[in-house]
Structure 1
């Protein structure tokens, strides 16, 4: 039986593996079908990880992590996990693709989430080259420039407000004339002189070139006309696909899940199910930053070690 099964090989999963094995656990396996690294590997520039002063792409940034995190005995199994289930004796069964199963005393789930795509022309072509889903990650690249934000929920409103601290102007585009965000946040945005609301509108196209990236955004207005915003960047916030499928046993989740799909945890990354931990973008209120995900993984591993000790 495994001491700890870690599901997901991004910063949270790798960090959990490092702390669990360095902490003395001998039988720890990280299940990640592809190469470890997570979403950050698709980022073109990584410059806000404390202690790493060199600006580099996400793939280069993550490349040393696997070697370091496996140094103390973490095993990487290239297999997809289909589900996690709780056994009557308190242990867990991990069902892999193809029907193979593993047993574990504790499980740390770090499967993350992926931003939903808005579906406009040019979104995929310029993703990471002017189309972004993270203002904290990429806002600095547009210092004193104009940018666009798409969305009408709390995240879109908060990120638009955040971008006004960096950018000269923010165009906030929303398909309706009312917002789903908290009224107090909406009022703040309406009073912010740096934000121009473009309501009852959709993105028709993002355009640019392969070298310079995004050069502008064509917005379709309510009357059918097109407004051309000459901006080098657009941030889209139209929701998240939380990758919580592995926590579903039959038609029920094995732990408490919030309406957003994120997993409910405490400060120790413990879910409502003893021995089951969630870390990184999967857990509630995740800030979606590499440094936070790595910290989550460390916390979850330390908590898992304490849980395993309590079994004896």
Structure 2
């Protein structure tokens, strides 16, 4: 067997799983389609992870990567496009290769959800962005908008108030559930304007974004001149490639509980791609530890 465990996804859940698996002396390969760290790498500052206050998402991800590699975890930057259950082993396929392991942990997390407005794709990189930390500096001294009502959207708006001349936050609902602290902080920023019960219904501009059309629940329409729009309307789980070996709920999340087990013995899930109530950095790390522990037990039981 080429590896004891293959982990698909090198975010916090995947890299935590790798650390636990290597400490149990299991050979580990992490398959990552993009860059290690997952979405946390874009966090300007992490305040809610125990014993690591005020660390940036990039620094946190780098520490995890360095810890995993120091323990001997192997990183391969390829996209997993499918898993085959071969009985005595699992085969993970990429566009250019196939890899075998005794167990697999799917820790693919989630991808950005789009706003779903006409010309959104056309204007990506021309005013439309999904990462305030990545692209905010391009809009220094300009007027921008953030779409969304999550804690991430509020954090993006707060971050942008330190860079942009003015920041509009557009939210389709009338309140921000579970993010009251960030909402209160944003209300105190003099260059922030919060627009509730409204949707962004049109993106305007010829070669780049120049304005957004905002339609409120009462039907009134407002054009707002902006140079940038940062979309933060949620995430989409990346599980479709593995639907042949795991069950998915109606939203595409892996149907696995706190034990991280799937319907296929030897295949586990961890992190934001599974059904769960809380999706936070600390719960992703907890999932990684749980899934790795379950995978280690599965492999050891097979040997017994």
Question: Please, which of 195, 199, 202 is the counterpart of residue 200 of structure 2?
Answer: 202
- The two structures, once aligned, show a CA RMSD in angstroms of 3.7
The answer for the alignment partner of 1:150 in structure 2 is 171
Task: Please list the CA deviations of residues 232-258 of structure 1 after superposition, one character each: whole Å capped at 9, or x if unmatched.
Answer: x98843x5322113314xxxx212111
Give the distance between the partners of 2:77 and 2:232, measured in 1 at CA. Answer: 32
**Structure 1, residues 58-109: CA drift from partner, whole Å, max 9, x if none?**
222211211111222211122222211111x2421111221x2121111001
Q: What does 1:126-145 align with in structure 2 at a 5 Å threshold? A: 127-128=132-133, 129=136, 131=146, 135-137=150-152, 139=154
Matches within 5 A, 1:212-251: 219-221=214-216, 223=219, 225-226=221-222, 236-237=232-233, 240-248=235-243
CA distance in 2, matches of 1:126, 1:22: 34
Distance in structure 2 (CA, Å) of the matches to 1:15 and 1:167: 31
Residues in 1 aligned to 2:33 and 2:113: alpha-carbon distance in whole angstroms: 22
The corresponding residue for 2:103 is 106
Equivalence for 1:10:
11
- Cα–Cα, structure 1 residues 8 and 196, in superposed 2: closer, same or farther, change >3 Å? closer
Q: Aligned partners of 2:8 and 2:276: how far apart in 1?
A: 20
The question of 1:38 aligning with 2:32 is answered no
CA displacement at 1:161 relative to structure 2:
2.5
Question: How far apart, in 2, do the equivalents of 1:20 and 1:126 lie?
Answer: 32
Which secondary structure does the structure 2 equivalent of 1:61 belong to? Answer: helix
- Paired with 2:222 and 2:23, the residues of 1 have a C-alpha distance of 58
Q: Structure 2 CA distance, aligned partners of 1:95 and 1:218? A: 44
Q: How does 1:293-312 map to 2 (within 5 A)?
A: 293-312=284-303
The 8 Å contact of residues 146 and 169 in structure 2, kept in 1 or not, is answered as no
Q: CA deviation at 1:295?
A: 1.2
- Residue 47 of structure 2 is matched in structure 1 by 47
- What's the TM-score once normalised by structure 2's chain length? 0.72
* Distance in 2 of aligned mates of 1:125 and 1:111: 18
Name stretches of at least 5 consecutive residues in structure 2 with no aligned partner. 137-144, 162-166, 188-193, 205-210
**Matched residue, 2:21:** 20
CA contact (8 A) 1:148 1:235 kept: no
Give yes or no for contact 2:254–2:273 (8 Å, CA) kept in 1. yes
Structure 1 distance, partners of 2:40, 2:181, is 24
In the alignment, is the contact (CA less than 8 A) between 1:255 and 1:271 conserved in 2? Answer: yes
2: distance between equivalents of 1:217 and 1:47?
32
Aligned residues of 1:148 and 1:234 also touching (Cα < 8 A):
no
Task: Please give the alpha-carbon distance, in whole angstroms, between the structure 1 residues aligned to 2:237 and 2:275.
Answer: 10
CA distance in 1, matches of 2:46, 2:14: 19
Q: Compute the displacement of 1:261 (Å).
A: 0.2
Choose 272-281 or 287-296, whichever is displaced more: 287-296
CA contact (8 A) 2:154 2:186 kept: no
5+ unaligned residues in a row in structure 1: which ranges?
172-194, 207-215
